[in-house]
Amino acid sequence: MRLVRVGLQLWLLTAAPVYAELRLVAELDGLDAQQQVFTRELLRSTEQHLPPTLRARLHDVSVRWAGSLPAKVSGRATTDGRLLLNRRLLMQRDQALALRTLVHEVVHLYDRLGPPARLHWYCAGRLQVQGAVGLPAACRGQGERRFRLSDDPRLLDLAGWPERVGMRGQREANNARTLRSPDAYELDSPAEFVAVNAEYFLLDPDYACRRPALHAYFTAHFEGWSPEAAACTDSYPYLNAASGPDQPVVGWLDPERIYAVHYLLAEPNEEWASRWGHSMLRLVVCAPGRVRGPDCMLDLDQHLVLSFRAFVQDVQLSHWDGLVGNYPSRLFMLPLAQVVDEYTKLELRALRSVPLLLSREQIAGVAQQSAMLHWSYDGRYYFVSNNCAVETLKLLRTGTDSPKLLDVDSQTPIGLLQALQARSMADASVLDDPAEALRLGYRFDSYAERYQQIFQPLRAELGLPAEEVEHWLALPPAERRPWFAAADLRASAGLLLLEQAAVRRELLAAQHSLKLRYLDGDAEEAMREAGDLIGQLLLERGFLSRPADLLPEGYGLPQAREWRMLEARSQQRGAALLQLEKTLDAVLPALLSAAQQARLQGGQDNLQLLRERIKALRGEQ
């Protein structure tokens, strides 16, 4: 019987693999009794917070208090696998900081070892988190590669070192997710990012809500294991950069209410910075209470546009500054109605809204990534290498985690749309019937098209001295006025619409010239007075493009306890901004040149003349 028992024990030992658990071994020489107790408790607490996967990967690790570390260095993982802790932490008896430091350095050791082969293989561009059975059959022989944490492409995307578009395999040198960071040291390198974020993943219950995508990544990496986490809310706060007197500054993005994501393209025009078009994303958000489905396309007042822009603080673009990256690039969340008016009425550019073929998980991922970038991203805008198309592609690549986007390198808005179509990720068939596309909201036509449709019959009927509507609108108001007298009621109504467009153009041109004068440091006394107001206005507008400035405390996505402060501060800043705009509006007319004032006044006189003529013609009828 004894021989049978011994044989059974030997079989069990050889049949099942034995994994040595991590053991942190303290070097206690020179420590008094209290310091030894503090050290043992620190090591025991650290081991309890570490994931089973990590503990099984490391074995005996020596931990020593060192007095030779620089004052600003709390700990260090040596190349021979030992851990040094700054003796200052021992003298201060700062258990929390010592725990964070030790966890941080243990993660460095783990990252340097790299995960075992069964954990992290990339195949066909996707992470394969494996069990003991090995890789899927479809992946074998397809250029599999094992990655450690700090060079894992998926983590680098989530962390803020995305692949450079047009330079496949190269990553951005600098991390631009500088706002609302838990520790600026995470931006030093991918290895430090891993160690800092592993600290928060393991020790901060709020991490799951503040950085949800990274929390999900670490959970998958550690084979489904995660520490206890706080319950997260369903919505993400954002700042409405188009806020006015009737709109709240703070909005709420609920991924469950997003029916679809569209690629929104502003078509090119002749302006230097706009000749390639502009890339945006449209979130088709359902009205509260509506069941998510196609009818959500009708809820236009709920739809949001995600737009990376260089027009931060309303400063005029310069060609050179756009080429060398002197403009910030930030992600704005704007109401669809404002974006449609901005492009179709003011810039006279049509919009195409092309549905993207995404799963529910991918739609939620795009919403989550957008919220993260809105609060954390402070990049640089380059017309060529980091423009709106490049930024939009990086957002889609990270948010969807789609393998179809791994080899897309488009640097132009139209090229990106074509690439999405080629990979069956965009359904451009909705644009095949132009009239139906307009009716269903897949296309928003430029007002230039409408103005031309109004202008052509007027030109034929009245003999207007211009071949195109652009030429008519560019004429001085006094040269347009003589043709009003021959217009009947219908023609007068058409001329009124065109005259309103001409006045809008004059106002935009006047605003443009004032911005240039302000930026050039015009020395006129009146300009100096307005310059102070313009400078204050630009400063006040800044918070709309950097919402993180309103919440210097905390990191990642703002949580419920920060919302009250966010709403109070945003309302205060919004009210100050509106008051400044009113004050500036009262001063600006006097700053215009005599020619500008004459054109604006002439346009206003033409509008009044046409309104009176329409009223008289209606009276006759």
User: Residue 492 sits in which domain range?
Assistant: 448-620
Let me know if residue 1 belongs to a domain: no
Question: How many other CB atoms are there within 10 angstroms of residue 455's CB atom?
Answer: 24
Let me know if residue 50 belongs to a domain: yes
DSSP state of 386: B
- The answer to whether the beta carbons of residues 574 and 246 sit under 8 Å apart is no
| Exposure of 522 in the CB half-sphere (CA atoms within 13 A) | 19
How far apart, in Å, are the Cα atoms of 267 and each of 242, 412, 440?
A: 22, 12, 19
503 and 596 assigned to the same domain? yes
398 and 486 assigned to the same domain? no
Q: Which residues contact 457 (CB under 8 A, 6 or more apart)?
A: 494
- Dmax over CA atoms of the chain, in Å, equals 121
353 and 402 assigned to the same domain? yes
428 and 501 assigned to the same domain? no
> Residue 14: what pLDDT?
39
Q: What is the CA radius of gyration of the chain?
A: 31
Structural domain total, the chain: 3
Positive or negative, the CA dihedral 45, 48, 54, 55 is: positive
Strand order in the sheet with 304-309: 379-381, 327-335, 304-309, 278-285, 258-266, 351-355, 443-444
Which of 113, 133, 159 marks a domain boundary?
113
Let me know if residue 246 belongs to a domain: yes
463 and 439 assigned to the same domain? no
CATH no. for residue 46? 3.30.2010
Distance (Å, whole) CA 320 – CA 411 = 18
Phi, psi (degrees; rounded to nearest 5) at 609: -65, -45
Distance (Å, whole) CA 189 – CA 552 = 23
468 and 532 assigned to the same domain? yes
258 and 396 assigned to the same domain? yes
DSSP per-residue string spanning 409-440: ---SHHHHHHHHHHTT-B-GGGGSSHHHHHHH
Distance (Å, whole) CA 196 – CA 288 = 39
| β-bridge partners, 145 | 122
> Residue 312: what pLDDT?
41
- The answer to whether the beta carbons of residues 308 and 330 sit under 8 Å apart is yes
Which of 90, 113, 136 marks a domain boundary?
113
Instruction: Provide, for the chain, the percentages of residues in helix, strand and coil under a 3-state DSSP scheme, each rounded to the nearest 5.
Output: 55, 15, 30
Which of 445, 476, 506 marks a domain boundary?
445
Prediction pTM value? 0.84
Let me know if residue 83 belongs to a domain: yes
How far apart, in Å, are the Cα atoms of 618 and each of 35, 484, 608?
A: 96, 15, 16
516 and 397 assigned to the same domain? no
Q: Dihedral of the CA atoms 351, 357, 361, 366 (nearest 10)?
A: -30
Walking along the chain (621 residues) 10 residues at a time, the average pLDDT comes out as 43 42 91 95 96 92 93 93 94 93 97 63 50 49 65 93 78 91 96 97 97 96 94 91 73 96 88 71 97 96 90 43 56 92 88 97 97 92 74 95 86 92 96 95 92 92 90 92 92 92 84 66 53 63 78 92 88 77 70 84 93 89 69
Question: How many other CB atoms are there within 10 angstroms of residue 519's CB atom?
Answer: 13
602 and 494 assigned to the same domain? yes
Question: How many other CB atoms are there within 10 angstroms of residue 264's CB atom?
Answer: 27
Distance (Å, whole) CA 331 – CA 339 = 14
Let me know if residue 197 belongs to a domain: no
- The answer to whether the beta carbons of residues 549 and 568 sit under 8 Å apart is no
Let me know if residue 481 belongs to a domain: yes
Let me know if residue 247 belongs to a domain: yes
Distance (Å, whole) CA 334 – CA 354 = 18
308 and 420 assigned to the same domain? yes
Question: How many other CB atoms are there within 10 angstroms of residue 8's CB atom?
Answer: 10
Let me know if residue 209 belongs to a domain: no
Distance (Å, whole) CA 228 – CA 207 = 10
335 and 461 assigned to the same domain? no
> Residue 248: what pLDDT?
80
Question: How many other CB atoms are there within 10 angstroms of residue 621's CB atom?
Answer: 5
Q: CA angle 197-201-205, nearest 5°?
A: 135
Residue 65's region, left for phi above 0, alpha for psi from -120 to 50, else beta, is beta
DSSP per-residue string spanning 114-178: ---TTT-EEETTEEE---TT-S-GGGTTS--EE--GGG-HHHHHHHT-PBPTTSTT-B-SS----
88 and 45 assigned to the same domain? yes
Question: How many other CB atoms are there within 10 angstroms of residue 335's CB atom?
Answer: 20
